[in-house]
Amino acid sequence: MKLLLVGEYKNGNIDDSFYELVAFAGKLGAEAVAFFVAPTDIKPEFNGKVYIADVEKAKEYNPKVHRDLILKVAEKENPDYIVLSHSSYGWDLAPRVAYKWDAGQISEIVDVDNDGFVVPFCNAKLRRLLKPNTGKAVLTLQSGAFAPAKEGSASVETIDVDVADEGLEFTGFEIVEKGGVDLTKAEIIVSAGRGVGKKENIEIVEKLAKAMGGELGASRPVVDAGWLPPERQVGTTGQTVAPKLYVACGISGAIQHLAGMKKSNFIVAINKDKDAPISEVADVFVVADLLELVPILTEKLSS
């Protein structure tokens, strides 16, 4: 089996998500080559061949140019799968590449199994196993699902940017204003999940965060319900954080939440369900009603 891994070059660096694609290839035991639109002197830590299209010519993003360059490499290498991150870059490119390559597409893969690729569905409550029946396919990988693998040094080949841009112009990336709090810098985060039950109970978790000298975080349902603002959200569509201590209160541990916090140094989870999936990543898992336990912890820490 052969893979073409499409890496991303962002803000002057190879994005670490590339090494998650490398780990995926390793897990499949597949041969892999890689492709980047980047400066031609980048040096990915990857044991294999890397094709680079000069970012000066192909621009940081232009869907049609990037798509056609990927297909140019695919024609040379004839991979079984073209693999991208499930990022805004990958989301936008994958279906364009699949359509023109006449291939199927499987999105948001979180694991591999002998029989195929594991993909969450039903709001990540369930997982299904998918196998492309098109022979070749374009795959996107959920961020954080595969631990990055850095290995060796690549042999680099530059490819010509000789594809038409069809009238599109790259005007730049816009950085979204994050609001008042930057969770990525916090050393301690105490997060509230749907298990808090109602908006008025957020205060219980907020008091614990304050008593610990940490920041208040949240899972997505808490933000969707308007109990906390979006800049507090941890997860794939929120912040990716890696504090020294992460305390999850009433959070089940859906893959989209885990992707944003599982690299935390030490994880404490409080949940009344002993089988909650967050127990799989927690260093300390407390089976308790947070409405009872959290005020006691806050009081102990404050006295």
What does the binding site for ligand FAD look like in residue numbers (CB under 6 A)?
A: 123-124, 193-195, 219-221, 233-238, 250-252, 254, 256-257, 260, 270-273, 276, 289-291
| Residue with the CB atom nearest ligand FAD in the bound state | 235
- Minimum Å gap between C-beta 90 and ligand FAD is 13
Specify the residue, 90 or 221, whose C-beta has the smaller distance to ligand FAD. Answer: 221
- Minimum Å gap between C-beta 197 and ligand FAD is 6
* Three-state secondary structure string covering the chain: CEEEEECCEECCEECCHHHHHHHHHHHHCCEEEEEEEECCCCCCCCCCEEEEEEHHHHCCCCHHHHHHHHHHHHHHHCCCEEEEECCHHHHHHHHHHHHHHCCEEEEEECEEECCEEEEEECCCCEEEEECCCCCCEEEEECCCCCCCCCCCCCEEEEECCCCCCCCCCCCCCCCCCCCCCCHHHCCEEEEECHHHCCHHHHHHHHHHHHHCCCEEEECHHHHHCCCCCHHHEECCCCECCCCCEEEEECCCCCHHHHHHHCCCCEEEEEECCCCCHHHHCCCEEEECCHHHHHHHHHHHHHC
- Minimum Å gap between C-beta 204 and ligand FAD is 10
- Minimum Å gap between C-beta 298 and ligand FAD is 15
Specify the residue, 91 or 159, whose C-beta has the smaller distance to ligand FAD. Answer: 91
- Minimum Å gap between C-beta 282 and ligand FAD is 12
- Minimum Å gap between C-beta 255 and ligand FAD is 7
